[in-house]
Every structure is written in structure tokens, then in C-alpha cells.
Structure 1
Amino acid sequence: MRNKIAGAIYGMALGDSMGMPSELWGREKVRKYFGKIESLLDGPKENSVACNYKRGQFTDDTGQALVLVDSLNSTNFKPNSKDIAERLLKWAEKEKAFENNILGPTSKVALANFRDGIDSKAVTDKALSNGSAMRIAPIGCLFNAADKERIANFVYGVSEVTHTSDISIAGAAMIAVAVSSAIENTDFEAVKKDVFEMEPIARKLGAETFSPSLTERIKLGIYLAKEYKDDEDLFLEKLYDIVGAGVNISESVPAAISIAYYAQDPNKCAVLCANLAGDTDTIGAMATAICGAFKGINSIKKEYIEVLNEANDVDFDRYISILMEGRSCIK
């Protein structure tokens, strides 16, 4: 179990940091600048977001995920939106996230409103961005995949500070259950089944939006994964063109799950996500967390682990232990 949970946490950080240099660039720009990303790199000075990071540093995706774990550790693993909001705001101020344009569109407004004492429900109910899903992977480590109702409600509880729409809750819950299922299963078809079963459960918890079915978009992505199983570049190109790779959760979550299905190995997954273009750090964090949970930390290249440990002022082992404790505590 520790091997799988550690795989999810290091996988999240790996996909996040591997995808950081190409974050929010289009495919043509990524190809012209990098050729192909095959290792951890510094953020280019030309990238207005990634320029804030060095080789192996993770971004707001993993940063906020660890904030959630810290909050749950302090509240006996009971979601407390006020505590989460305070910690996220403190993290944002420490990282100069407002000034450096690090925060996503919904989280930026919601946290600013929390700071200023303004109710954000009108904003969070309409959320279409992926802030809820990008930081949710650790929650999947706390539950068995069969506990879908509990996972969905827990996801809502830790997300409501910034995201309360149907699609933002569903997308996050689908990533969480994918991690849960990947920890338990050795067949990715079982992971896919759990993901598809989660959407109708979680979607009813959030405020209704006119958003597409995440399940149907994932089905498209998995079709592409099978159709182009022998051609990585063409798979990424078709996924980018048909499913999308933007910050909207209706693009990034299906893209992440599709790449996880295609790769299954965390090292391969991180590279694929980085070269997809679009919201590469977020898609990488979600997809590679799933693959890390599926294969375990022992499958992640040792040099990646070493760079992640050196580049980030974080005790990964502490967070893994907290999640191990939380998994037994919640049960």
C-alpha cells in the first residue's frame, strides 16, 4: 500500500514538474522550442508562468494538493472549508501566486474573495476550470474505489472553497476514484469502469452547468488511445485536436485519463503529458498520479525521485505517512 500511495504522490509531482516548462503553450510552439521534452527541465524565461520554476520544481497543482493534506491532517481527516481556504490563501501569498499569475481563473477569484470577506458561491457554482481536479489525487489514496458516494462527498467537502459546479466536482471525483482504483487493481479496464461509474454520482452534488459529459469525452480519448496505440505522436495530436488540452475541466480531465490509459507507466505518462501542449502541468499531475498509483513508486525512475526531492522543499515521506494514517483513520 505504501508503494502505491508513494507512487501516486511522486507521480503527481513528476507529471506536474515535467509538464511545467511547456505549460499553456500550443503544440506548434512546444515542438519548435523543445523538439521533444524527454526529461525534467527549467521553466523557459519566455513562458510567463513557467519562468517562475526551475528543473524538477512542481507548480500549484502539487502545491495545493499538499495544502489539502496538511489541512486534513490538522482536522482529523474531516474536510473543513474554512481551514482549507486559510491554508490555500497562506500558500498563495507565500508563493506570490496572485502576482505571478500562478493561480487558475476560478481559484484566483474565490481566494481573493475569501481574503476580502466576499461570498464566492456565484463564482464557484459556475466553475468550469480544473482547479478542483488538479489537486485531488491524494484524496484518492484515502478510500477504496467501491466507496464512491463517500469519495464524491469528500471531494465536494475539500473543493467547495473554489469549485462547487457539477462538472468541477464530477471531474475531481473521477480523478480521485481513478487513483483509488489504480491502487487496488492490476487491470486498467477496472480503473476505467470505476471512473465511468463516478460521474453520475458526483455530478449531482454540484450546481448544474451546461457542460458536456466527461465520460463520453473519455470514451473518445480511449478510442484514440486504442486506434493509435503504436504512434504516440499521432495519439497526442488527435487527443489535442478532438478532446482538447485546455484549462477547462471538460478537456483536461478526459485528456489526463486518456493518457493514463494509454501509458499506464508513470515515466512514459509524464513525458506524453509534457509534449501534449496546453495545460501540461495539470494534465501531467492528474494522469501521472494515476499511473504512479497503478505501478507504484518502485516503477518511477530513481533519477526523477532524486531531482524531485532536491528541487522541492518538501518532505514527501511525511505526506505519504499522513495519507497512510488517513486511509486507516477514515475506515
Structure 2
Amino acid sequence: MPEQVRARALGAFYGLALGDALGMPTQSMSRTRIKDCYGSITTLVDATQDQPIAPGMPAGSVTDDTEQAVLVAKLLIDGDGRIDPYTFADALRAWEAGMISRGSRDLLGPSTKRALEHLDAGLNPQQAGVAGTTNGAAMRVTPVAIANPVGDRLLDAVVQASLVTHNTSLGIAAASAIAAAVSASIDGADLSTALDEAERAAHSGASKGHWVAGGEIAPRIRWAREWVRGMSRGEVAGAVAGVIGTSVAAQESVVAAIALAEVSGDDPFGALLLAAEIGGDTDTIAAVLGAILGAQHGIGGFPGELVGTVRAVNGLDLEPLVDRLLALR
């Protein structure tokens, strides 16, 4: 495996974690509230005591985005590239139980929780996730992208990883877009090409899940990329927050991350800071943006000191996981 491929894969996984940690203190807050509490986000900061999801969490702490991505990585490795839906469901339940025991408010998202309830009621995995339209599958899909090159194999793996919780046209399309952008970048595609791959994968992925109403991911990616080109940092923040949207809905937050990548892809750390200030689902937007730009620039694209802080605060050691995922690739 060429060293630059490993560096880009490490950049994707650590970029996800760094983005997640930068967005942790601001998640579920408005842009105005973020500015009042933190001013400008320029580095990792502690969450305030009234943070709605992570009150008082120390600077550098990650959230469900990174923790569930690690979970997916381990399941892929243990399953030799495949994820059994029932094993996945059990792992998600165990993860949430661990979070509850630690007193965290960062629990399973609405789509995942509903899907597990459906499984408990006797529905099969194909039926359980037919209401999953949020960004949960996209936020944890980076290990799938590391383990699979762009193409039918990647799309099949994304479906497998999304099925039990997000078996919808929106959920799978969003996860496919992020996976394709990351995977293409790992193989050395430039940013424009990688985001083109995201659009194509979103189009293909939309046909793989249960159709649900809502703005489709692929055309929204194409429109958003064209619309934000040439905007300043301040303009793009307002455009993304006010028009594209930053909620947990897949067609908002995932498209928002790709729009930020379009205009700030040459400044990966600056892009993550912008995502952390943008309001809404900041941890997930910054996490998936970090995965894309980390795969573009490699692990060296982010400040080493901050990556080290995230590693230390969370006890993260992603190198062995990345090496085994690349072996699957």
C-alpha cells in the first residue's frame, strides 16, 4: 500500500475525529448563540455547562460521529468487509448503554433509535430502517470508504452499512455521497473529481433504499456546489445555514458539508472551524467535512498538536484500524 494512500486514509479518519471534536461544543446551537458563548471558534474548546448535548465536555472530546465510525470499522474488520445487520444492531445498543452509564446525553439518533425499536418488534432488517432520513449513516460511513474503492463494491458496502437504520433513498444517497468523496480522495482524486463522484454515488445510492419524499441528495449537491462558488467565508456561512440548512436531515447537513468543501477545500482546518461555527448539527457537518478534506490533504493537512489532543482526550488509536481497513481495500 503506497504511503500516500495510508496518509490520506489516516487523514480521513482523524479528520473526522477532529471535525467532530471542533463541532462538539457548538452542536444543536444557533449561529447567534455560538457567537455569544464562544466568539469565534479558532481551536478546540470546552463545552459550556448549558451546552444542550454535551454540557461541560472537555475540549477535544468526540461525539457519536467518531465513536460509531470506530464501531463500524471494527465490525468491518471482524466481518472481513461485511457487516451483519443484527450484529450491527446489537453493537449500537451496547454503545448507547455505555453512553447512558457514563451520564452522556449523546445517544442514538432518531432514525437509529426507531429502527432498533422496529427490529425489537419483529421487523426484518430491510424493513427496520425505512424511515431513516437523517445523517446517521453518512456520519459513520468513513471506514467503509477506507475499505472499498469507488464503484459497485463501495455502493454495496454502503448499503450494507446503512440498511438496518437508514434504508431510504435519502439516507443511503447521503452516505454514498460521503463515502465516494472520501474513497476517491484516498485514491488521489482532486477535490472537484471527488465531489463529482459524490454526486454520482448519491444518484446511484438513492435507488437502493425505500423511496421517501424530500429534496434529492444528488441534484442538491450539484446545485449547492454551483451556487456557493466564489462566495466569501462570511457569505458561504450565511448561505449554508440559511438556505441549504444544517439540521440532522440528510439533505441538509450532508449537502452543507459538501458545499463547504467546495469553497474551502484548500484550507482544511479553516473549513472545519467554519463548520463548527455554522450552527445546527455542527459536529456531524464538521466530521464528514473533515473526512473528505483529510482524505484530500492527508493527516498532515491538520494541525498535529490538535490531532494529538483529540487522540489523547479520547484514547483514540486509529492507525491499526486504518491499516486493517486498507488491507480490506
Q: Which range, TM-score by smaller chain? A: over 0.9
8 Å Cα contact 1:107/1:162 also seen in 2:
yes
8 Å Cα contact 1:224/1:239 also seen in 2:
no
Please state if 1:104 is matched with 2:109: yes
Q: Which residue of 2 aligns with 1:182?
A: 185
Q: Shift of the alpha carbon at 1:123?
A: 5.5
Amino acid corresponding to residue 195 of structure 1 in structure 2: A
Q: Shift of the alpha carbon at 1:235?
A: 0.9
Q: 61, 71, 96: which is aligned to 1:67?
A: 71
Q: 160, 185, 188: which is aligned to 1:157?
A: 160
* Helix, strand or coil at the partner of 2:319: helix
C-alpha spacing 1:48/1:160, structure 2 compared with 1 (3 Å): same
Q: Matched residues in 2 for 1:303 and 1:162: separation? A: 36
Q: 11, 16, 22: which is aligned to 1:12?
A: 16
Q: Which residue of 1 aligns with 2:138?
A: 133
* Helix, strand or coil at the partner of 1:125: coil
Q: Shift of the alpha carbon at 1:44?
A: 1.6
CA RMSD of aligned residues (A): 1.8
Q: Which residue of 2 aligns with 1:296?
A: 298
Q: 33, 39, 46: which is aligned to 2:37?
A: 33
Q: Which residue of 1 aligns with 2:203?
A: 200
What is the percentage of aligned positions where both structures have the same residue?
A: 29
Q: Which residue of 2 aligns with 1:314?
A: 316
C-alpha spacing 1:101/1:56, structure 2 compared with 1 (3 Å): closer
Structure 1 length as normaliser, TM-score?
0.92
Query: Structure 1, residues 167-211: CA drift from partner, whole Å, max 9, x if none?
Result: 101110110000011112352121122112112211111001112
* Helix, strand or coil at the partner of 2:193: helix
* Helix, strand or coil at the partner of 1:54: coil
8 Å Cα contact 1:224/1:238 also seen in 2:
no
Query: Structure 1, residues 229-256: CA drift from partner, whole Å, max 9, x if none?
Result: xx21221111111111111001011001
* Helix, strand or coil at the partner of 1:37: coil
Q: Matched residues in 1 for 2:317 and 2:104: separation? A: 26
Amino acid corresponding to residue 108 of structure 1 in structure 2: K
8 Å Cα contact 1:260/1:288 also seen in 2:
no
> Superposition pairs for residues 112-127 of structure 1, below 5 Å?
112-114=117-119, 116=120, 118-119=122-123, 124-127=129-132
Q: Which residue of 2 aligns with 1:323?
A: 325
Amino acid corresponding to residue 225 of structure 1 in structure 2: V
Q: Which residue of 2 aligns with 1:279?
A: 281
Query: Structure 1, residues 145-184: CA drift from partner, whole Å, max 9, x if none?
Result: 2x1x221211111111211011101110110000011112
Q: Which residue of 2 aligns with 1:255?
A: 256
8 Å Cα contact 1:26/1:277 also seen in 2:
yes
C-alpha spacing 1:326/1:243, structure 2 compared with 1 (3 Å): same
Q: Matched residues in 2 for 1:60 and 1:100: separation? A: 10
Q: Matched residues in 1 for 2:302 and 2:106: separation? A: 31
Where structure 2 has 5 or more consecutive residues not aligned to the other structure, the ranges are none
Q: Shift of the alpha carbon at 1:52?
A: 6.1
Q: Matched residues in 2 for 1:221 and 1:54: separation? A: 34
Q: 200, 219, 222: which is aligned to 1:219?
A: 222
Q: Matched residues in 1 for 2:107 and 2:176: separation? A: 23
Q: Matched residues in 2 for 1:204 and 1:216: separation? A: 14
8 Å Cα contact 1:81/1:160 also seen in 2:
yes
Amino acid corresponding to residue 32 of structure 1 in structure 2: D
Please state if 1:242 is matched with 2:246: no
Stretch deviating more after TM superposition (274-283 or 96-105): 96-105
Query: Structure 1, residues 100-134: CA drift from partner, whole Å, max 9, x if none?
Result: 253211112223454x4543765621222111111
> Superposition pairs for residues 73-112 of structure 1, below 5 Å?
73-96=77-100, 100-112=105-117
Please state if 1:143 is matched with 2:143: no
8 Å Cα contact 1:15/1:269 also seen in 2:
no
Q: How many residues align?
A: 322
Q: Matched residues in 2 for 1:47 and 1:224: separation? A: 32
Q: Matched residues in 2 for 1:62 and 1:110: separation? A: 20
8 Å Cα contact 1:18/1:271 also seen in 2:
yes
Stretch deviating more after TM superposition (194-203 or 66-75): 194-203
